[in-house]
Amino acid sequence: MSEGGFDIVIGNPPYVEYSEKNVEYRISPGTFNTQESRNLYAFVYERAKALTVSGGRVGFIVQISSVSTPSMKSMASEIKRDVRTTWLSNYATRPACLFDGVTMNLTIVLSEVWRESLQTAPTLFSTNYLRWSPEYRPFLFDNVRFVKVDVTKLLFGFAVPKLTSASEGALLGKLQAQHFPLAHYLEHSKQSTREELFYRTAGGRYYKVFIDRPFGSESKSNKSKFFRSTYDRHAMIAVLSSDLWWWYYTLHFDMYNCKDYMMYGFPFDYDQCGQIAGLRHLGRKLADDLMKNAERKVQTYASTGRREQLIFKPALSRPIIEDIDRLLALHYQLSEEELDFIVNYDIKYRLGSEEEDSAG
């Protein structure tokens, strides 16, 4: 330490929320830049940087939420502070997990600590949301590919996008050019509108299901939201069911649930869209098709007992979803190459079985 610190600090810190109610020790206010995150792994990462010599390396395996949830915004900021370069590789839970038996989306953070002044902003690299089969494990790290993140194209301060290619920066720029998110069109009182959208906050591993009627099944995750009467819910169903939205969702969030900030932060200028009539038609068609293909099952859970579930099979509605993306490509001015990338994004898994994940 007398020579400036360690050359390398690596580890797998505890994923434990810090709460003064549950521990005997206390962390004084202002001790860490990441204090607002209230998670020990953020504190450990920050402290490791402080103990590392300038030019040294820090590497930790942390939860993917570290760079994809608002509550961890201070952690996302920390990976850009006092570093020259940070590499982020992102790992899914299916078909295989990074650690056998640990069903948790994870990110490996590798940072080059740098305390001298920089002429430019720190450089960030990330990977896509990596999925692999168990038999592929021996080759996983050999095939990790990092993509430079264009820090001028970040949609959220708390999220570092999980990129497949550098060309996605242009796509993010086209979303960034929109003036309003979907939240702009919400109505907070159901008394003045009938434009109600039904969805789930959980369930649906490779699809999120949005429909125009109650699910008619028992689930605490069943939710609904109202749009102002001048904004058609079927057009909104089309937008939220698109591969474009799924790409945006995968890039920016932790891939567990479907919370309001994830849904309604999506940029879409409804009033400037010349494809609303087509989106309205396809949204209604999709909702009907999802319900037609859905299967009702009675399942037994240890916590809630017997419950009737609605099993959706969105992969059967792929042709409708692709038609939606073709209309959205006109609105967002996507090139043919960009549209092809979007409709084929994550396609291997989105065409797979949703039986175990789409109950609601």
Say whether pLDDT at 317 is over 60.
yes
Least confident of 61-75, 203-217, 255-269: 203-217
Question: Percent of the chain scored above 90 by pLDDT?
Answer: 80
CA distance 171 to 160: 15
Q: For residue 282, is it within any domain?
A: yes
Q: In the block, which residue shows the tokens 């992102």? A: 90
Condensed to tens digits (0 to 9), the pLDDT of residues 16-65 reads 999 888 778 889 999 999 999 999 999 999 999 999 999 999 999 999 99
Q: Mean pLDDT throughout 164-178?
A: 96
CA 300 vs CA 130, 134, 308, 312: distances in Å: 32, 29, 9, 18
Which band of pLDDT confidence, cut at 50, 70 and 90, is reported for residue 360?
Answer: very low
| 149 in the same domain as 15 | yes
| 241 in the same domain as 295 | yes
User: Total structural domains in the chain?
Assistant: 2
The overall average pLDDT reported for the chain is 93
- Chain-centroid distance of CA 54 in Å reads 32
Full residue range of the structural domain in which residue 247 is found: 182-350
Global pTM value: 0.94
Condensed to tens digits (0 to 9), the pLDDT of residues 80-133 reads 999 999 999 999 998 999 998 889 999 999 999 998 888 888 999 999 999 999
Quote the pLDDT of residue 22.
74
Quote the pLDDT of residue 146.
98
Q: For residue 201, is it within any domain?
A: yes
| 205 in the same domain as 112 | no
Q: Cis bond leading into 214, ω under 30°?
A: no
Please report the beta strands in 114-154, taking only residues with DSSP state E, as ranges in sequence order. Answer: 123-130, 147-148
Q: For residue 175, is it within any domain?
A: no
